[in-house]
Amino acid sequence: MELRETFLSALRTLGSHKMRSALTMLGIIIGAGSLVAVMSLIAGLNQSVTAQFQSVGTDIISVSHFPWVQMGDSDEYRNRKRITIHDSDAIASLPSIGLVAPNIHTRRGISYGGESMRRVRVSGTTPEYETIDNYSVESGRFITQFDVERRRQVVVIGSDVSEKLFGFRDPLGKNMQIGGKGFVVIGILDEKGDIFGDSLDEHVIVPFTTFRKAFGSRRSVVVDCQPAAGVPMARAIDDIRALMRIRRQVPRDKPDDFAINTQEDLTASYKQLTGVLYFAMTGIVALALLVGGIGVMNVMLVSVAERTREIGVRKAIGARRRDVTSQFLIESVILTALGGALGIGGGAGLALLVRVATPLPAATTPGAVALAVAFSLITGIVFGVYPAIRAGRLNPIQALSYE
């Protein structure tokens, strides 16, 4: 029997049982839909995280008393000794280390004129921070050594702060309030973008020394640094680790009580996260397709039983086994293909919604669509084969006398 005829006849049959066909497709719709949706979200996540990584800089080493990605016992973290400015100086004196920028952070309310912003990230640091942490100044200047030495009440502001507090006015030279203290704006930073809905541009940077005087000197210091020219990353890290263990008197058999963060760690833990997501997705999709597939098989078995007489007639007028088998197989594949198409549409729609409504740039890739199509078709074949073979093997006389 020609494929075209089989196809048309299958569509006719499915069309005459619309409700049943739709319910059968549900599992496949959910399976294909969640596959496309989750893969689109991960693609979006990849995109925004890659952008974020680039903004961090590839050769940064960041020494802090908490790691960037925390795992396990948080009590242990809380009891750790602070890292001090003396640790930062010691790291700076290592021959394998180039630039060093100690930095400390808090959140404070800020205001100018009638405008104010709450809980803005305030950082205190030194001039090297601009290079190491990939900042660039749009207008004015960054903090200088002179500002640090003199503890000047000056501030470099993020682009969001400039926009929200000053609007169309030029912020440079204006006197603004940070945590109730007056600061003169000396520079405006280039836009850095968002990470998970959190703006990187709601940020103000003041000299390290000024920060300690204004907001307290007891905070643990983060030491951002780069290896000296020509020194491999791994050696610089080893040197820092050895130095810090001695300075903090960590016993030989104990793990580090501080963290050395690199972009590589971030990438590794991000990969771990997406790995978990993929794993969970595989589970959901497999389950949905299994449920959908069993539904398809059930409906096809019912369909074969209902149409036993029809099968008998078809055989009597010349249908061979494979004509009947392929007819039923194509019906089940059409069922799952249709379900898959609806699911892909739904998943892609969901991804689009996320893209429009949230900062996550979710994107449906051709790969995700291809995978969903393949899964739908395979489900149709795998779960349709048994009923189809049963239909093909029916004895024509018994089928014809079936009531």
Partner 1 sequence: MLIQLEGVTKIYEVGTEKVNALGGVSLSIEKNEYIAIMGPSGSGKSTLMNVIGCLDTPTSGSYCLKGQEVGDLDDDELAEIRSAEIGFVFQTFNLLPRMTAFQNVELPLIYSKAHRRTRAERVWSVMDAVGLRDRAKHRPNELSGGQRQRVAIARALINAPSIILADEPTGNLDSGTGEEIMQVFEGLHKAGNTIILVTHEEYIAEHANRIIRLHDGLIASDERSAGASSPTRPVGSTERA
Nearer residue to partner 1 within complex by CB, 295 or 392: 392
Q: With CB under 8 A as the contact rule, which of the stretches 10-18, 118-126, 161-169, 343-351 interacts with partner 1? A: 10-18
Quote the longest CA-to-CA distance of the chain. Answer: 104
Nearer residue to partner 1 within complex by CB, 148 or 329: 329
Question: Is 13 among the residues that bind partner 1 (CB under 8 A)?
Answer: yes
Question: Is 12 among the residues that bind partner 1 (CB under 8 A)?
Answer: yes
Q: Please pick, from the candidates 2, 73, 75, 198, the single residue that binds partner 1 as defined by CB under 8 A.
A: 2
Question: Is 320 among the residues that bind partner 1 (CB under 8 A)?
Answer: yes
Got the DSSP string for 269-282? HHHHHHHHHHHHHH
Q: Please pick, from the candidates 89, 321, 370, 374, the single residue that binds partner 1 as defined by CB under 8 A.
A: 321
Q: Which of 298, 322, 328 is nearest to 388 (CA)?
A: 328
Going from the C-alpha of 66 to that of each of 61, 79, 82, 222, 223, the distances in angstroms are 14, 11, 10, 9, 12
Using the CB atoms, write b or e for 60-83: b if 16+ within 10 Å.
bbbbbbebeeeeeeeeeeeebeeb
Question: Is 314 among the residues that bind partner 1 (CB under 8 A)?
Answer: yes
Nearer residue to partner 1 within complex by CB, 243 or 319: 319
Q: Which of 354, 375, 330 is nearest to 31 (CA)?
A: 375
Q: Which of 222, 211, 383 is nearest to 290 (CA)?
A: 383
Nearer residue to partner 1 within complex by CB, 18 or 78: 18
Q: Please pick, from the candidates 268, 276, 316, 353, the single residue that binds partner 1 as defined by CB under 8 A.
A: 316
Q: With CB under 8 A as the contact rule, which of the stretches 20-28, 190-198, 279-287, 317-325 interacts with partner 1? A: 317-325
User: Shortest approach of partner 1 to residue 4 CB, angstroms?
Assistant: 8
276/18 Cα distance (integer angstroms): 38
Going from the C-alpha of 254 to that of each of 237, 250, 257, the distances in angstroms are 18, 7, 8
396/324 Cα distance (integer angstroms): 11
Q: With CB under 8 A as the contact rule, which of the stretches 43-51, 143-151, 293-301, 315-323 interacts with partner 1? A: 315-323
User: Shortest approach of partner 1 to residue 320 CB, angstroms?
Assistant: 4
Q: Please pick, from the candidates 16, 74, 79, 249, the single residue that binds partner 1 as defined by CB under 8 A.
A: 16
What is the three-class DSSP state of 95? coil
Question: Is 19 among the residues that bind partner 1 (CB under 8 A)?
Answer: no
Question: Is 310 among the residues that bind partner 1 (CB under 8 A)?
Answer: yes
Nearer residue to partner 1 within complex by CB, 110 or 319: 319
Question: Is 14 among the residues that bind partner 1 (CB under 8 A)?
Answer: no
User: Shortest approach of partner 1 to residue 319 CB, angstroms?
Assistant: 5
User: Shortest approach of partner 1 to residue 25 CB, angstroms?
Assistant: 20
User: Shortest approach of partner 1 to residue 300 CB, angstroms?
Assistant: 17
Question: Is 309 among the residues that bind partner 1 (CB under 8 A)?
Answer: yes
Helix H or strand E encompassing 195? strand 194-195
- Residue 369: both structure tokens together: 């669509």
Q: Which amino acid is at 147?
A: D
Contacts 24+ apart (CB under 8 A), 16-22: 17/303, 20/299, 21/299, 21/335, 21/338
Question: Is 365 among the residues that bind partner 1 (CB under 8 A)?
Answer: no
From the number of C-beta atoms within 10 Å of its C-beta (0-12, 13-18, 19+), residue 30 rates as buried
CA dihedral 134, 140, 143, 149 (to 10 degrees): 160
Question: Is 318 among the residues that bind partner 1 (CB under 8 A)?
Answer: yes
Q: Please pick, from the candidates 107, 138, 322, 374, the single residue that binds partner 1 as defined by CB under 8 A.
A: 322
Q: Please pick, from the candidates 172, 284, 287, 400, the single residue that binds partner 1 as defined by CB under 8 A.
A: 400
Question: Is 331 among the residues that bind partner 1 (CB under 8 A)?
Answer: no
Question: Is 313 among the residues that bind partner 1 (CB under 8 A)?
Answer: yes
Q: Which residue has the tokens 């006719």?
A: 12
User: Shortest approach of partner 1 to residue 328 CB, angstroms?
Assistant: 15
Question: Is 323 among the residues that bind partner 1 (CB under 8 A)?
Answer: yes
**Which residues contact partner 1 (rule: CB under 8 A)?**
1-2, 5, 12-13, 16, 309-310, 312-323, 396-397, 400
